[in-house]
């Protein structure tokens, strides 16, 4: 009887509900632990992700009073949409002056050409006169040798020949002088080039009084009104481009081993709870600033980790949207959950897909 009682006592703990529940909880914990370890390698997941994009400060390149504003804060505009206009009066006057200066330069160039032509004509006349005097002097000098004319008459002829020779030299010098004044002809003339450059600069400044949207995007931080004086290089509004928007997912360092460019991704945006969007990996960061580099003259600071596990280092992984269904919900700085499918494993990918869809439902709660 005692043996039978002892057997009954020994068998009772084996059928205890507490023991069964403990074993089941332990089994589930082991399964979750193994899944967590494996998923870090084949379906990395993170809740630390942000929507990123290009933020462009809109700053005038010329100064002036704002006379027109064609957008409102948080408005979506198309590429080339006129954002605002500055008072163009002074810049239009500068264009008019530059056009007049170019015309004057052209007229000066025309006058210079006329002077060169006159100098060339003068040189031709001087040479003609020299040839005539030279022929006359040859006859007179031959008559002098024969005693037909006096020495005084012959000296007059020699003086005329010297004068004609000097006339050629003076005409040649005048031609050189006028050509130097004229410089290069046509559009390559320095005065023409300078006038053209001044006109182009004036036209460029006039065009810059109208500021256009650089791409499709949204206007933010608009806090000015008509009459505000805009200074060169001082932003008057912020423009957020929607053409290039991506997600920057911060993955733990030990999750990066199998992540490659082109891997498929599924994401949940907090701006669109309950929906899952697709994307692809476009790159991963190769370094982060861990803030331990000492400046010159200082000693390095070393932090002591708490506990026996150190905090994981995270690296940015860039994700590109591969569908258009998320347009309008890609808010710069918005949070996201990301899961990466590194291989074609059915079980791990199915679990990752189930997890991201569960998170999409839970995103209604936060």
Query: For the segment 340-352, what is each residue's pLDDT rounded down to a tens digit?
Result: 998 877 778 888 8
What does pTM read for this prediction? 0.64
210-212 and 277-284 beta bridge pairing = unpaired
Task: For the chain, give every domain's residue range.
Answer: 58-88+206-237, 90-188
pLDDT for 339 equals 92
Cβ contact 322:280 at 8 Å? yes
Helix (H) or strand (E) holding 26: helix 17-42
Task: Give the integer Cα–Cα distance in Å for 247 and 335.
Answer: 9
| Residue range 123-154, pLDDT digits in tens | 666 777 777 777 767 766 666 665 656 667 76
pLDDT for 227 equals 92
Residues of the chain with pLDDT under 50: 1-2, 5, 7-9, 12
pLDDT for 1 equals 44
pLDDT for 9 equals 47
Cβ contact 160:133 at 8 Å? yes
Query: Which CATH number, 2.40.50.100, 1.10.490.10, 3.30.2130.30, 2.30.30.40, labels domain 58-88+206-237?
Result: 2.40.50.100
Cβ contact 120:158 at 8 Å? no
pLDDT for 307 equals 64
DSSP 60: -
Decide: residue 134, CB within 10 A, 0-12 exposed, 13-18 middle, 19+ buried: middle
């Amino acid at each position: 009887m005692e043996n039978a009682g002892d057997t009954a006592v020994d068998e009772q703990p084996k059928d205890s509900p507490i023991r069964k529940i403990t074993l089941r909880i332990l089994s589930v914990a082991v399964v979750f632990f193994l899944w967590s370890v494996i998923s870090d390698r084949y379906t990395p997941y993170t809740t630390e992700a942000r929507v990123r994009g290009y933020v462009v400060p809109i700053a005038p390149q010329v100064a002036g009073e704002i006379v027109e504003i064609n957008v409102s804060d948080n408005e979506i505009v198309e590429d080339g949409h006129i954002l605002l206009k500055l008072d163009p009066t002074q810049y239009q006057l500068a264009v008019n002056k530059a056009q007049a200066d170019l015309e004057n330069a052209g007229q000066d160039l025309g006058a210079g050409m006329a002077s060169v032509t006159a100098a060339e004509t003068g040189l031709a006349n001087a040479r003609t006169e020299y040839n005539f005097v030279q022929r006359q002097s040859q006859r007179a000098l031959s008559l002098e040798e024969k005693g037909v004319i006096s020495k005084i008459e012959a000296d007059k002829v020699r003086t005329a020949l010297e004068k004609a020779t000097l006339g050629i030299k003076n005409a040649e010098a005048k031609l050189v002088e006028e050509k130097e004044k004229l410089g290069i002809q046509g559009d390559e003339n320095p005065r023409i080039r300078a006038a053209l450059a001044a006109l182009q600069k004036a036209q460029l400044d006039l065009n810059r009084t109208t500021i256009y949207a650089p791409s499709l995007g949204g206007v933010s931080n608009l806090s000015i009104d008509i009459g505000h004086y805009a200074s060169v290089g001082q932003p008057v509004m912020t423009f957020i481009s929607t053409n290039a928007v991506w997600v920057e997912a911060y993955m733990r360092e030990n999750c990066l081993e199998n992540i490659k460019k082109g891997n498929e991704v599924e994401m949940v945006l907090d701006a669109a709870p309950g929906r899952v969007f697709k994307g692809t990996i476009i790159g991963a960061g190769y370094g982060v600033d861990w803030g331990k580099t000492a400046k010159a003259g200082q000693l390095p600071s070393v932090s002591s980790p708490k506990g026996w596990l150190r905090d994981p280092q995270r690296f940015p992984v860039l994700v590109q949207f591969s569908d258009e269904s998320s347009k309008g919900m890609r808010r710069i700085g918005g949070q996201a959950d990301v899961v990466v499918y590194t291989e074609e494993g059915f079980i791990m990918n199915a679990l990752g897909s189930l997890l991201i869809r569960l998170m999409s439902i839970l995103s209604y709660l936060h």
